[in-house]
């Protein structure tokens, strides 16, 4: 079986993908991890509901993943687009879902990449050094 040499254009192109960590420190409520900071877990159901309400898929694909590492900066989210991927600790502002939805709405409206949210103590992370 051979691979197709020309790329296939999607009818509804995906501009970005956001992968929300659902590991022990970021949101998996079944496991408790002691941390020095007050972690605000990402509410998976609220985020999925908002994504559907605002018709954000397929412009921005939302998925939940296992541990992304960098647990000291939970909640951790990976943002991927045609130009690369960035890993970000979203901090403890308590507005994580609101920030992610607003970011995805901006992408869906502009139909182009928009920098991810940086609020409060959010931080860009280098996963590997």
**CATH number for the domain harbouring residue 120:** 3.40.30
- On the question of pLDDT at 85 being above 90, the answer is no
Other CB atoms within 10 Å distance of the CB of residue 37: 12
Q: What is the tally of structural domains in the chain?
A: 1
Instruction: Give the residue numbers spanning the domain of 81.
Output: 16-125
The answer to the question of residue 47 being in a domain is yes
- On the question of pLDDT at 26 being above 50, the answer is yes
The answer to the question of residue 89 being in a domain is yes
The answer to the question of residue 51 being in a domain is yes
Angstrom distance (rounded) from CA 88 to CA 77: 5
The answer to the question of residue 1 being in a domain is no
- On the question of pLDDT at 28 being above 60, the answer is no
The answer to the question of residue 77 being in a domain is yes
What share of the chain has pLDDT > 70, as a percent?
69
Q: What's the mean pLDDT in 13-17? A: 88
- On the question of pLDDT at 9 being above 50, the answer is yes
Asked whether the beta carbons of 91 and 122 are under 8 A apart, the reply is yes
Instruction: Name the one residue in this structure whose structure tokens are 């901006």.
Output: 106
Going by DSSP bridges, is the β-strand pair 60-65/16-21 parallel, antiparallel, or unpaired? parallel
Q: What's the mean pLDDT in 48-53? A: 94
- On the question of pLDDT at 52 being above 90, the answer is yes
- On the question of pLDDT at 71 being above 80, the answer is no
Element (H, E) at 85: strand 84-89
The answer to the question of residue 111 being in a domain is yes
What share of the chain has pLDDT > 90, as a percent?
24
The answer to the question of residue 55 being in a domain is yes
Looking at per-residue pLDDT, the higher value among 56 and 6 belongs to: 56
The answer to the question of residue 3 being in a domain is no
């Amino acid at each position: 079986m051979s691979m197709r040499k020309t790329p296939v254009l999607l009818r509804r192109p995906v501009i970005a993908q956001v992968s929300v960590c659902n590991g022990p420190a970021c949101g998996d409520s079944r496991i408790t991890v002691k941390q020095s900071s007050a972690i605000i877990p990402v509410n998976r159901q609220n985020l999925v509901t908002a994504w559907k309400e605002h018709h954000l898929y397929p412009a921005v694909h939302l998925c939940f993943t296992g541990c992304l590492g960098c647990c000291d900066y939970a909640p951790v989210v990976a943002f991927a687009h045609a130009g690369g991927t960035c890993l970000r600790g979203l901090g403890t502002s308590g507005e994580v879902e609101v920030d992610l939805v607003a970011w995805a709405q901006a992408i869906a409206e502009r139909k182009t990449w928009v920098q991810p949210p940086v609020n409060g103590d959010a931080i860009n992370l280098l996963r590997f050094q």
